[in-house]
Structure 1
Amino acid sequence: MKFEGTDSYVAEKDLTIAVNAAIRLERPLLVKGEPGTGKTELARQVAASLDLDLIEWSIKSTTKAQQGLYEYDAVNRLRDSQLGDERVNDISNYIRKGKLWTAFEAEQRAVLLIDEIDKADIEFPNDLLQELDRMEFYVYETGEMIKARQRPIVIITSNNEKELPDAFLRRCFFHFIRFPDMETLQRIVDVHYPGIKQSLVREALAQFYEIRDTAGLKKKPSTSEVLDWIRLLVADDVAPEDLRGDARNALPKLHGALLKNEQDVHLFERLAFLARQRG
C-alpha cells in the first residue's frame, strides 16, 4: 500500500515519503502548513489513490474528543422512559457512534481525517492519545471494548493556530507542507486548468508572488486563492499585458480573490497611489 500522488493532486516527493512512512509505521500523519496548501485535500487524495473509504471529522472550537468515540443521549432516553417506549430497555439505542468508532468497525481499512485539530481545546489531542495509539476504547454504558478491525490510516491537519502537546506529537509522523515555488504552483494550475494560456499563467503567478512578498501584508494569499483568481482571469478573458499594466498602476485586478481584509486592500491602495505619484 503506497501513495504516489494522483492526476488531480500535485504531491511533492517529500510529502509522498511522509505519507508512506506514516502508513508503514502505523502512526498518525500530522500535516501542518498555511491554510489553502492542500492539507485536507491530501487525505481525500490518499483515500482515492489507495481505493479506501474516507471518514472526515472536521474539528470546531466546541468539539470534544469524546464525540469522536461516541455520545450517550441520556436526555432522549429519559424522555422515552416517560413515554413508556420499550427502546429504553436497550441502552445501545441511545449510543451515537463517532468518527473513530466508524473507522474502527469498518470491514476494510479506511482513511480517517481529523481536520484542523488546532481549533479545539488544548486538551483535545491528549484526550485521544490512548485511542489513537492502541486503536481501541471502552464504552462504559454498554460495557464493551471497541477495537479496530483494520487499523485506519489517520491524517491529522493543523493550521498551527496553537501548539500541540509534546506527548501527542511524539506519537505522530510530522510533515510541514511548504508553500509551493513558482514551478510547482504552475504544475498545480495546469492540473486544475488544462490547456490554459501559459503566457497568462506566467504573468499571473509573477504578480501573485509579488503580492505575497509585499512587506506589511497581513494575510498572504494561498494556493486555493490563486486558483480562484486565475479562474476569474480566464473567465473575464484578461490579457497578460492588461495584467501587467494593472499591477503597476492600481490594485490587483479582481483583487477580492486574493486580498481578504481591508488592511491589505488599503496597503495596495497606498502603494498604487505612491506609484502614480512617481509617474
Structure 2
Amino acid sequence: MKFATTDGYVATEDLTVAVNAAVTLQRPLLVNGEPGTGKTELARQVAQALNLPLIEWHVKSTTKAHQGLYEYDAVGRLRDSQLGDARVNDVRNYIRKGKLWQAFEADNRVVLLIDEIDKADIEFPNDLLQELDRMEFHVYETGETVRAHLRPVVIITSNNEKDLPDAFLRRCFFHYIRFPDPETLAAIVRVHFPGIKDALLTAALTQFFELREVPGLKKKPSTSEVLDWLRLLLAEDLAPEDLRKDPRSALPRLHGALLKNEQDVQLFERLAFMARGQR
C-alpha cells in the first residue's frame, strides 16, 4: 500500500513520491519547511494511509537522544533500596522505555514521528545515527540489545532552525515542503471547509497571498493560520465584499489570526499612513 492524498490531507505529487521512496528505501524521511505547512500532520496521515500505528516523539530544547531509547531511574532505585523494597532486585523495574524502544519492539510495523528535531542541541541527531541506521541499541543496565522486529517508517520533521549534521543528512531521504501555491491551498481549504463558497475563497486567498508578499514582514502567515482565519470569516458569515480593505487601514479583517507579532501589525499601520499621505 502506498501513500497518496487522503480525505483529510492534500499531498502534492513530489511529496507522495518522497514518502513512498523513503518507505521503499527504508530510510528516515526528513521533512523540512515553514512552520504550519503540515509536516507533523504528514506522519499521522502516512500512518492512516498505510494502516499502521503511530508513535510520536516530540522533541524539545531539553530533550536528549538517550531519552528516545530509555531512561534509568537510579534515584528511584536508591530510594527503594533504602526502604527495603524488593523491586530493587530487578533493574528492569527502573527502566522506562523511550519512543524508539517502543517502535523497535512493536509486533507490527509502525510509523515513528520524531518531531522538530532541530529544537534539540546539535549533538542530538548525531547521537541517534547508529540507532536509526542499524535499528538496534544496547541497554547497559541489563546487558541486553534491543533490535527492531520490523523496521519502522521513520518521519523526522525540522523547521530549519539550525543546520543538521552532514552524517545525519546522508542517512535520510530529504524533502522540502514548499508553501502551497494558490491552487493547492484552495484544495487544502476545501478539505477543511467543503461548503465554502468560491467567491469568498477566491477573495480571501487573494488577500492572504498579497499579505504574505508584503516586503519586510517578519513572520509570514502559514497554512494553519489561513485555516484559522477562514474559520473566523465563516463564523462571522462575512461576504467577499466584507474583505475589502478599509482605506484607513491596510490590515485585513480579523488580522490577529494571521499576524502574530507587534512589528508586523505596525508595518501595516505604517503602510496605511504612507498611503493616506500620498493622497
| TM-score by shorter chain over 0.5 | yes
Residue 251 of structure 1 pairs with residue 251 of structure 2: yes
Match of 1:264 in 2: 264
Letter in 2 for 1:57: W
Letter in 1 for 2:218: K
Residue 69 of structure 1 pairs with residue 69 of structure 2: yes
* TM-aligned CA deviation for residue 247 of structure 1: 7.5
Match of 1:47 in 2: 47
* TM-aligned CA deviation for residue 45 of structure 1: 0.2
- In structure 1, stretches of 5+ residues that fail to align are none
Match of 2:234 in 1: 234
SS in 1 for 2:241: helix
Whether contact under 8 Å (1:249, 1:276) holds in the other structure is no
Aligned residue pairs: how many? Answer: 279
Provide the C-alpha distance between the structure 1 equivalents of 2:81 and 2:260, rounded to a whole number of angstroms.
52
Query: Map of 1:75-154 to 2, 5 A cutoff?
Result: 75-154=75-154
Q: CA RMSD in A?
A: 1.0
* TM-aligned CA deviation for residue 246 of structure 1: 3.5
Whether contact under 8 Å (1:226, 1:257) holds in the other structure is yes
Match of 2:196 in 1: 196
SS in 2 for 1:246: coil
Provide the C-alpha distance between the structure 2 equivalents of 1:246 and 1:126, rounded to a whole number of angstroms.
52
Match of 2:277 in 1: 277
Sequence identity, in percent? 77
Whether contact under 8 Å (1:5, 1:46) holds in the other structure is no
Q: With structure 2 as the length reference, what TM-score do the two structures score?
A: 0.98
Q: With structure 1 as the length reference, what TM-score do the two structures score?
A: 0.98
Greater Cα offset, 229-238 or 27-36: 229-238
Provide the C-alpha distance between the structure 1 equivalents of 2:81 and 2:39, rounded to a whole number of angstroms.
46
* TM-aligned CA deviation for residue 33 of structure 1: 0.1
SS in 2 for 1:19: helix
* TM-aligned CA deviation for residue 251 of structure 1: 1.3
1:217-255 Cα distance to aligned partner (Å, 9 max, x none):
000000000000011011111111120233784411100
* TM-aligned CA deviation for residue 11 of structure 1: 0.1
- In structure 2, stretches of 5+ residues that fail to align are none
SS in 2 for 1:175: strand
* 1:80 to 1:221, Cα distance in 2 relative to 1, 3 A: same
